[in-house]
Structure formats: structure tokens, C-alpha cells
Amino acid sequence: MQPWTRRPAAPTFYSRKHLANKSAFTNRAVDVDVELTSTPSTRAVVPATFVATSVARCGEAGDSIAQRLKVGSYFALWYTLNVVYNVLNKKYLNVIPAPLTVGSLQFGVGALYSVLLWVTSLRPAPVLTDEGNKAVRNVGFYHMTGQELSMMSLGAGPVSFTHIVKALEPFFSAVVSAVVFGKWMAPQVYATLIPVVGGVAYACLKERSFSWLAFYTAMGSNVAFALRAVVSKSALNSSGLGENLNSVNLFGVVTIWAFFQSIPLFLLVEGNSFVELWKQALSDRTNLDLIRGLVLSGMFHYLNNEVMYLALSNVHPVTLAVGNTMKRVFIVVASVLVFKNPISIQAAIGSAVGIGGVLLYSLTKQYYEELERKKEEEEESNKPRFGRRD
């Protein structure tokens, strides 16, 4: 039947709900009568696909708005938690300059939070196989190493300086992927790392608050987090790791492993000095103040990472890359405003170039990965199929 043809028949009225049910849940095209005039002798017939598409678009529009609000709330919360954590953490390190011990205890706060959620059944507890435990333990080691080195850098220099150096993390990720795992990218992707390295180098050159300890530990943190990213991608994408292993549960297990692996480190390096530093801090603060500050910084550290994982599961990697780039800008600006650390014009220019280079690298890398994926799909589709009858 051709659409919009006239035929004599008695008018039949359908509710909107009936139209949606009749068309949306039927896989074949069925003509649905819609009364267009008040004359019983004539009416127009509209294909069901038109009605179904209209109803579906209304639903998709509502879902799209809800999804955007959800993602926007994740990013807003992620930025807020990240900025607050970096400010609280630096203030706490100024009072108790024991970065390894403070970092380990922050892991402990996050681990305890995860266990409480599992014990109270507010979140299904993960069950890992032996292979899963081994994979998560390796990721936890690199996570612990990267965070503890970041803590040392934050304790040795301004927050802004540490995050300027940490903008080099994509460079180390590219090097680790190529050298350790033999995964090479397009030359255009490596070319985008030039402004990243050049911008950070220019920002650090003659920087007023430059510290070799802050610089070296931030660089070491970049290496550790690059190894964490590559190892986690190769290990955690494999099957047979266990049950209830969503993104937040995986991060909870990684945090627990990081906590236990960090204990020998802080006991060996700061075990004797931490108690003395705590006593010195009690001269103008109470035990409750110090404990509260430690718990708050640990919770903000854990929740900041957990919300990042939630954002990652709801957006395209390019969107997350842009968001992660802008996050560093917010942290640098917030730290300058709170701690009044002066930044030279040279450092500001270098930081802008370096952070802009990180964004360019992320976008270019994603673009060429998409091209490679499409090429592989085309090659797969062009392979001869055997046993088929034409």
C-alpha cells in the first residue's frame, strides 16, 4: 500500500500508547491508521515506521538529555574532588612532611571504604581467580609506586610545579608501549609529543620554585603510571579474572593491594621519623584534627579516582582525554590561588604549550586508532568465506 492513499472505511482511533506499542515492538512494517479528518468516509494511512520513528526520537531526546546531565555531573564532581584533594593533601604535607606514610595511610582509608561497601552489601563484592589476583596485584604495585612518588613530589615542591611535570605522562606512556610491549603508533602521534616535551621543559627552565627532588619524583611517577596504564590494559582486558569486576570494584581491589604493598616502603623510609613529626604537629593541633585531615584527604583521593572511572565508562576516550587535560589546568590555577605560589610568565607559557600538546596528542592518538580499527574491520570483511552457497 502506498502512503497517503485514500480509501473508504470507518474511522478507527488509536491512543498514542497503542501506536507506540503496536509499532515499536513489531519488527515488520505494519500500516497503522491515524485519523486526520473528521469525515468518516476518508482517512489517510501512515506507515507504522513513521510513527515508530517519531515515538523513538522523543524517547531518545529525553535519554540524551539525561545522559548529558549524568556525564556533566560526573565531570563536575571529578574536578571538584581532584582540586579539593590536591589542596588538602598539600596542606597536610606542610604539617606532617612524611609523604610516603601519608600516602600509604590514604590508601588504607580508600581500602577500608571499599571493604565496608562490600561487607554491608551496598556494592556486590568482587570474587577474583588466581589469575585475577595476580593481574590486579601487578596493577596495584604500579599504582602504589606512582602515587607515592607523586606524594614525594608534592611534598618537595608546589602543587602547580608537580602537575606541570606530570603533563609529560603521555610521553612516557608512548615510550613504554613501544619499548616494553612493542606497540608502535603512527609517526603523526609521536610528532604531537614535541610540544608536550618542549612546553614542559620551557616551563621548568629557570622556574622560581624549581626543585630537583620534586622534578625527579614527578618524572618517576610518570613512568610508574605509564606502566600501570599499559599493564592494566593488557591484563585486565583478559577473561577469567573473576566475578563482579566492574570498574569501581577493580579500583577498590587495586587500592587494597596498593595499601599492603606500600606498608614496607613507608616503614623502611619514614618509620622512625613519622611518630616524631606527628608529635611536633601537636604543638598547634589536636590528634583529632590530624586524624580528620588524614581521613578526609584519603577519602577525597579515593573518590576522585572512583568518579574518574565512572566518567570513563560513560564517555568516549577522546572526551575523557579532553577532561583530563582540563583537570590539570584547574589544579594549577586552584593551587596558585590557595597557596599564593608565584608562577613566572615563562612557566605559564610553557605550561599552556605542554598541556595543549597533551590534548593534541590524545586527539591524534584516538584518531589513528580509529583508522586502524576500521582498516582491520575491512580486512576481516574482505576475507573469503568458505562453505557458503550463493
DSSP string spanning 187-255?
A: HHHHHTHHHHHHHHHHHHTT-TT--HHHHHHHHHHHHHHHHHHHHHHHHTTSS-SEES--HHHHHHHHH
What's the chain's length in residues?
Answer: 390
Q: Are 355 and 328 in contact (CB under 8 A)?
A: yes
Q: What's the average model confidence in pLDDT over 59-73?
A: 70
pLDDT greater than 60 at residue 35: no
Q: What's the average model confidence in pLDDT over 247-254?
A: 88
Low-confidence winner among 25-34, 159-168, 336-345 (lowest mean pLDDT): 25-34
Low-confidence winner among 81-95, 154-168, 273-287 (lowest mean pLDDT): 154-168
pLDDT tens-digit series, residues 273-327: 998 999 999 988 899 999 999 999 999 999 988 888 777 666 655 566 567 767 7
Q: Are 237 and 132 in contact (CB under 8 A)?
A: no
Residue 389's SS3 state is: coil
Could you give the percent of the chain with pLDDT greater than 70? 76
Q: What's the average model confidence in pLDDT over 127-156?
A: 91
59 versus 21: which is more confidently predicted? 59
Residue 387: predicted pLDDT = 52
322 versus 154: which is more confidently predicted? 154
Maximum alpha-carbon separation in the chain: 96
12 versus 76: which is more confidently predicted? 76
Helices (H), the chain: 16-24, 48-95, 99-119, 130-156, 159-165, 169-179, 187-191, 193-204, 212-235, 247-281, 287-312, 317-339, 345-381
Residue 17 pLDDT level (bands cut at 50, 70, 90): very low
Q: How far is residue 344 from each of residues 39, 180, 195, 349, measured CA to CA in Å?
A: 80, 37, 19, 9
- By the 10 Å C-beta count (0-12 exposed, 13-18 middle, 19+ buried), 4 is classed as exposed
Q: What's the average model confidence in pLDDT over 331-339?
A: 81
Nine cell digits for residue 177 = 608501549
386 versus 235: which is more confidently predicted? 235
Mean pLDDT of the chain, nearest integer: 78
222 versus 14: which is more confidently predicted? 222
pLDDT greater than 80 at residue 112: yes
pLDDT greater than 90 at residue 36: no
pTM metric for this prediction: 0.72
195 versus 53: which is more confidently predicted? 195
Low-confidence winner among 58-72, 230-244, 372-386 (lowest mean pLDDT): 58-72
Nine cell digits for residue 228 = 600501570
Residue 257 pLDDT level (bands cut at 50, 70, 90): very high
User: Which residue pairs, CB below 8 angstroms and at least 24 apart, start in 288-297?
Assistant: 290/95, 290/96, 293/88, 293/91, 293/92, 293/95, 294/92, 294/102, 294/105, 294/106, 294/109, 295/109, 296/88, 297/85, 297/88, 297/89, 297/92, 297/102, 297/106
Residue 13: predicted pLDDT = 46
- Residues in CB range of 124: below 8 A, 6 or more apart: 118, 244, 249
Q: What's the average model confidence in pLDDT over 203-214?
A: 78
Nine cell digits for residue 294 = 588524614
End-to-end C-alpha distance for the chain, whole angstroms: 31
